[in-house]
Copies of this chain bind each other. A is one copy, B any other.
Amino acid sequence: MNRKQLIEQIKIKKSFLCVGLDPDLDKIPSHLLELEDPIFEFNKVIIDATHQFAVAYKPNIAFFELLGPSGWQSLKKTIDYIPKNILTIADAKRGDIGNTSNYYARTFYDTYGFDAITIAPYMGSDSVTPFLRDDKWAIVLGLTSNSGAMDFQNQLLQSGLKVYEQVIQTCSQWGSEENMMFVIGATQEKYISDIRKSIPNHFFLVPGVGAQGGSLKAVADAGLNKDIGLLINSSRGIIYAGNDQDFGLKAQEAAKEIQLEMESVLLKSGLI
């Protein structure tokens, strides 16, 4: 899915919501555990319930990988089930020497058919550039939402930039706004407007709203650009809104509530 198509979907749905799929056998409703593939059945209900409010799904690969080979079968079925007008993001945080990154790109783009993958930038250019392709997205970790983000990302370089600023500035030269996004944590709201100034056109994938404490409105105020430029992720707040037979309905209500807040933000900003 390319940038134009993504923006079009956001405007049609009046939503820049990404639903994070973190399916956990210890948390999904117990009645699903009797089925042959509980993880897929859970995702299927969530997708059915939320797809009209979401423009992206982001499976967290760790939750599938934990289950062994069958987890990857559930992942493949999940990706195949997601409507084609919705962006699919492998939250995999891969990154290795060029030769190996190329394998990871083939895995997620070709074997599984994802539109996008999250990338850890520590190993530099040859670890990132294999993920750049037309109509695909390398989503590079910029400033993350977790407490550990302060340990290295926030260190000040002699150049005057912080590490995350250097990462964003350098990586944005390898890719373009057509094939690269950045992960910017919602919990970092005081930094988002400065990051937006440094890269006015790139999309940000923003985790951390909800369970991790970030505010949708604050992120939107600081991060929206003329093409919207934001995908805000919510995982646990939607998929575990309920944990009984009606968990799909609960997820739908939670997704719709966020979509309505997004619609209001987009209207106020004159973007729709």
Indicate if A191 sits at the interface (CB-CB under 8 A): no
In this complex, what residue of B is CB-closest to A236?
A: B99
In this complex, what residue of B is CB-closest to A93?
A: B96
Do B107 and A66 touch across chains, with their CB atoms under 8 A apart? yes
Interface residues of A in 113-165 (CB under 8 A from B): 120-128, 141, 144-153, 155-159, 163
- Distance of A62 Cα from B101 Cα, bound (Å): 8
Indicate if A167 sits at the interface (CB-CB under 8 A): yes
Partner-contacting stretch, out of A5-13, A33-41, A67-75, A248-256: A67-75
* Residues of B contacting A107 in the complex (Cβ-Cβ under 8 angstroms): 62, 65-66
Do B72 and A76 touch across chains, with their CB atoms under 8 A apart? no
Q: How far is the CB of A109 from chain B (nearest CB, A)?
A: 11
Count A-side interface residues using an 8 Å CB cutoff. Answer: 57
Indicate if A81 sits at the interface (CB-CB under 8 A): no
* Residues of B contacting A212 in the complex (Cβ-Cβ under 8 angstroms): 97
* Residues of B contacting A67 in the complex (Cβ-Cβ under 8 angstroms): 111
- Distance of A124 Cα from B185 Cα, bound (Å): 14
A-to-B contact residues, CB < 8 Å:
60, 62-63, 65-70, 72-73, 76, 91, 93-98, 100-101, 103-104, 106-107, 111-112, 120-128, 141, 144-153, 155-159, 163, 166-167, 170, 212
